[in-house]
């Protein structure tokens, strides 16, 4: 069985015409071959959305949460609404076609398609995940960078698409390069008025006493799928969970902090802007085991 699989959807949205009338809902294609037009607005303008779904032993994690967020992102960009039944079936078919592995992922992409055509482009790409043992155990070094807008930008400037998971990742990639220049592994964005936001590809979670906190939604950040499951795990242990408008000082004073995401899962922050942070080894291991074996 292949270690990576590509399924191209014939009709990603019921609100638009299919690419080929009478054809199957999706077809498998060679991931290494050209499959997207050079005129596709996803390639030329970054005009599209995506989700990355972690798969544990063949089971997609936070599946419906990811699909719901996919739909919300499409609505924010005024893309044709994804046909979730078709996407759900294509994703499951991609997983079934993929070589069995303890950890893999499926990335779903929906673009506006070729300019002027009116038909969106959609595909699901599945692959075996990399080895994140070091990040999950030894932890990561993180720097905080100013994102350049206020924490309430989602309300004041909705046209900036804050909180939508779009293909426009140039800024996030630039932030990762800046982190590397500073000798760090990752980034936590801070709003221009001093509020902790999120990582370029992750959600911030931190512990203070017996409570786990996250910046939450409504801050122009993503509704974290992994964060939601981390909170469920914490609650099963009797810990409290809450959302908080946190400052950088509050984060540095935390008893432990993590960046959580769908593929890397839970990575403890061992250094923040050069300051050492404690690693909660037992809780981190429990979180990662819970996420790896989750059945939802």
Question: For 46-86, how does the pLDDT look when each residue is reduced to its tens digit (9 = 90+)?
Answer: 999 999 999 999 999 999 999 999 999 999 999 999 999 99
Q: CA gyration radius for the chain?
A: 19
**Where in the sequence of the chain do the CATH 3.20.10.10 domains occur?**
133-292
**Where in the sequence of the chain do the CATH 3.30.470.10 domains occur?**
4-128
List pLDDT tens digits, range 222-241.
Answer: 889 999 999 999 999 999 99
d(CA 208, CA 216): 16
| pLDDT exceeds cutoff 80 at 295 | no
d(CA 97, CA 95): 5
pLDDT class of 218 with cuts at 50, 70, 90:
confident
Q: What is the number of alpha carbons within 13 Å of residue 191 lying toward its C-beta?
A: 20
4-128, CATH topology level: D-amino Acid Aminotransferase; Chain A, domain 1 (3.30.470)
Average model confidence (pLDDT) across the chain = 96
Per-residue pLDDT, 210? 97
* In the chain, % of residues over pLDDT 70: 100
List pLDDT tens digits, range 163-213.
Answer: 889 999 999 999 999 999 999 999 999 999 999 999 999 999 999 999 999
196, with CB counted inside 10 A (0-12, 13-18, 19+), is buried
Closest among 228, 219, 229, 172 to 199, alpha carbons compared: 172
Per-residue pLDDT, 1? 82
The Cβ of residue 94 has, within 10 Å, a number of other Cβ atoms equal to: 27
List pLDDT tens digits, range 81-138.
Answer: 999 999 999 999 999 999 999 999 999 999 999 999 999 999 999 999 999 999 999 9
| pLDDT exceeds cutoff 80 at 285 | yes
Per-residue pLDDT, 68? 96
| pLDDT exceeds cutoff 80 at 296 | no
- The set of residues, in sequence order, having a beta carbon less than 8 Å from that of 171 and lying 6+ positions away, is none
- CA 279 to chain CA centroid, nearest Å: 23
CATH architecture of 133-292: Alpha-Beta Barrel (3.20)
Write out the two tokens for 255.
């008893």
| pLDDT exceeds cutoff 90 at 216 | no
- 3-class secondary structure, 166: strand
């Amino acid at each position: 069985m292949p270690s990576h699989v590509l399924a191209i959807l014939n009709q990603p949205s019921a609100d638009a015409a299919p690419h080929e009338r009478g054809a199957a809902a999706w077809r498998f294609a060679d991931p290494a071959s050209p499959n997207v037009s050079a005129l596709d607005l996803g390639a030329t303008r970054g005009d599209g959305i995506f989700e990355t779904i972690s798969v544990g032993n063949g089971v997609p994690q936070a599946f419906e949460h990811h699909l719901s967020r996919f739909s919300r992102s499409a609505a924010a960009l005024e893309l044709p609404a994804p046909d979730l039944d078709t996407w759900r079936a294509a994703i499951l078919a991609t997983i079934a076609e993929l070589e069995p592995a303890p950890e893999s992922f499926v990335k779903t992409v929906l673009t506006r398609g070729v300019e002027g055509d009116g038909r969106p482009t959609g595909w699901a790409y599945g692959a075996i995940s990399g080895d994140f043992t070091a990040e999950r155990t030894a932890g990561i070094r993180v720097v905080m960078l100013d994102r350049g807008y206020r924490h309430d930008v989602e309300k004041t400037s909705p046209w900036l698409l804050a909180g939508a998971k779009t293909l426009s990742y140039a800024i996030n990639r630039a932030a990762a390069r800046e982190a590397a220049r500073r000798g760090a592994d990752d980034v936590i964005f801070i709003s221009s008025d001093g509020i902790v936001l999120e990582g370029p590809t992750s959600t911030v979670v931190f512990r203070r006493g017996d409570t786990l906190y996250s910046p939450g939604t409504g801050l122009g950040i993503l509704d974290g799928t992994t964060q939601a499951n981390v909170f469920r795990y914490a609650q099963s242990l009797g810990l409290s969970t809450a959302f908080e408008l946190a400052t950088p000082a509050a984060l540095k004073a935390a008893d432990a902090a993590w960046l959580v995401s769908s593929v890397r899962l839970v990575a403890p922050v061992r250094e923040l802007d050069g300051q050492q942070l404690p690693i909660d080894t037992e809780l981190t291991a429990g979180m990662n085991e819970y996420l790896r074996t989750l059945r939802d």
